[in-house]
Structure 1
Amino acid sequence: MTHASHDAHAHAHALDGHDDHDDQSEILDLDAEVLAEHIASITAWLPVKADPRHIVDLGCGTGAGTLALLKRFPQAEVTAVDTSTSHLNRLRQKAEAAGLADRVRTVQTDLDGAWPDLGTPELVWASASMHHMADPDRTLRQVHDTLAPDGLFAVVELAGFPRFLPEDAPADRPGLEERCHAAIDHHHAEHLPHRGADWGPKLTAAGFSVEGERTITVDLGPPHTEAVGRYALSSLTRMRGGVAEELTPEDLTALDQLLDTESPHSILRRDDLTVRTERTVWAARRT
């Protein structure tokens, strides 16, 4: 996920509270690679009445949702919207490499301001971006007015950072990852009040008819791929920036050992990593 308003998203989604878009590109790409099957399962579930020809991806990040939607709907074109020029450049590179560049239009804008002309899409997708909006109720109304009649709005939100370590790891600091999550959750409660919201009532209040809600549970490995190790390293490195002041010196030392790629305790050397998280999607129709 990004601050098009994630996680995007994706995990910008995913990594709330950070504005360094260039640094986010790697983790967004890793999120897309590691969780590609789960993203595809969400696009396959969408209750579309007919395959859309025009899709808008709000807070597109480096293109995980855009590329999944292009694969799911082979006749569609996607307008990908984000505030980050570097993310949009990366998305265009990926679309070009996949032979899909002619089906992607990118728009650089801040959706908390005046909206650009996005056409009249039959499907709008917002993954890990809605909770970043300064006024999400306004954004929901804007999406409602932008959609074609009977069009569908898919809101995908994350259950926070993934978890990667066994509950008793590292052996000398059991519960370290949970304490990091508690600290980042406290930070987000102050700075991102809409994170973790139930979007169903908000969608209804904006004039949508909610047709479905589904939670995707992710529980991968071990064994794990090399990408999972890099995903864990990038995720915990970014988490450290938000929790360092709240951790004890002992926890911070243990975390830094995990993040030190030269250390024998480096997370890249572990063979017991998993990826555990949840994503919830709401499908709402303009009525």
Structure 2
Amino acid sequence: MTSTAPHAAHHHGAQHDHSHGQDHPHGQDHDAEHEMGQLLDLDAEVLAEHIASIIAWLPVTAAPRRIVDLGCGTGTGTFALLERFPEAEVTAVDTSPHHLRRLRDRAASEGVAGRVHPVEADLDGAWPDLGAPELVWASASLHHMADPDRTLRQVHDALAPGGLLAVVELAGFPRFLPEDAPQDRPGLEERCHAALADQHAERLPHRGADWGPRLAAAGLTVEGERTITVNLEPPHSEAVGRYALSSLRRIRDGVAHALQAEDLAALDRLLDTDGPHSILRRDDLTVRTERTVWAARRT
């Protein structure tokens, strides 16, 4: 949702497809991570019901007590899992110290700090000791791995016997605007997504993979696959407008150089929060996306 690896520096976290715009100069890293953290939090808020439905669907045989969230970001999966399994503890792994700080702060504010164990680690390198979890949650993180098949084998070896791996992948950024919007440049959003997809095809070769055969090759038994279609229509809370704004800002970072001047100008009018054409002023936004989940067990 999460999201959700938009990323270059933290491509093994839950940055989802929101961060794969462009690389940021060093001086902008903190701002970029702060914006990314806000976007991940908005993704969690707006799509909370859908994330909960994915977790409820998982074929768990008994409520897990030890859970690992690989590429946890700011904790979208972590907190949803804690709510679903109130006796569980979650080891939350990410490369981004900024996101882990946000996760710690939220855990403290919600009174669950004792059940959350943040771990800063790059999963393309040496793996931390994750114990023997009964459930591993990997949302929008596997396609950022340099060698995801190696990662799957490591998950297999870490899982407790009978343990479950849940892989969740997103169909890119959500869409928000009607097809005929904005009035002066209809179809702008789709052109932005097409430009971003061209970049992802080069930088993220594992994006859009069918994870079922790869899970099986790692020695896991696939017990279910499900695609959830999200289509949230108005009226909405104001969070949807902020979610759309943050998402389109991230997309702009990646595609500005590839857009026609007229498209870029129209996009900037949408992103101008003080202007009359601001996306925050629209009452016709929808949230349209897909998430596919695979559940695989170590037998």
Does TM, normalized by the shorter one, top 0.5? yes
Match of 1:202, SS state, is helix
Residue matched to 2:125: 113
CA distance in 2, matches of 1:180, 1:45: 33
Residue in structure 2 matching 1:69, options 81, 84, 87: 81
Contact 1:233-1:268 at 8 Å conserved across structures: yes
Residue in structure 1 matching 2:18, options 2, 14, 34: 14
Report whether the alignment pairs 1:156 with 2:168: yes
Residue matched to 2:294: 282
Structure 1: unaligned runs, 5 residues or longer: none
Contact 2:18-2:250 at 8 Å conserved across structures: no
Residue in structure 2 matching 1:123, options 118, 131, 135: 135
CA distance in 2, matches of 1:4, 1:58: 12
Residue in structure 2 matching 1:216, options 221, 228, 232: 228
C-alpha deviation, 1:23, in angstroms? 2.2
User: Which amino acid is the alignment partner of residue 129 of structure 2?
Assistant: D
Residue matched to 1:5: 12
Report whether the alignment pairs 1:200 with 2:212: yes
Residue deviations 1:91-148 (CA, integer Å, cap 9, x gap): 1111111111110001001000000101000000000000000100000000000000
What CA RMSD, in Å, does the superposition of the two structures yield over aligned residues? Answer: 1.1
Contact 2:67-2:133 at 8 Å conserved across structures: yes
Report whether the alignment pairs 1:178 with 2:190: yes
Percent of residue pairs bearing the same amino acid type:
75
Report whether the alignment pairs 1:91 with 2:103: yes
How many residues were matched structurally?
A: 284
What pairs with 1:19-58 in structure 2 (closer than 5 Å)?
A: 20-58=32-70
Residue in structure 2 matching 1:144, options 130, 148, 156: 156
Match of 1:155, SS state, is strand
Contact 1:13-1:129 at 8 Å conserved across structures: no
Contact 1:77-1:104 at 8 Å conserved across structures: yes
C-alpha deviation, 1:13, in angstroms? 4.7
Report whether the alignment pairs 1:187 with 2:187: no
User: Which amino acid is the alignment partner of residue 228 of structure 1?
Assistant: V
Residue in structure 2 matching 1:134, options 109, 134, 146: 146
Q: 1:18 to 1:105 in 2, by over 3 A?
A: farther
Contact 1:65-1:127 at 8 Å conserved across structures: yes
C-alpha deviation, 1:87, in angstroms? 0.5
User: Which amino acid is the alignment partner of residue 14 of structure 1?
Assistant: H
Match of 1:62, SS state, is coil
C-alpha deviation, 1:221, in angstroms? 1.8
C-alpha deviation, 1:245, in angstroms? 1.1
Contact 2:18-2:36 at 8 Å conserved across structures: no
C-alpha deviation, 1:14, in angstroms? 3.4
Match of 1:218, SS state, is strand
CA distance in 2, matches of 1:84, 1:259: 27
Contact 1:180-1:247 at 8 Å conserved across structures: yes
**4+ runs deviating over 2 angstroms:** 1-4, 12-23
Residue matched to 1:272: 284
Q: 1:242 to 1:4 in 2, by over 3 A?
A: closer
Contact 1:127-1:157 at 8 Å conserved across structures: yes
Contact 1:4-1:58 at 8 Å conserved across structures: no
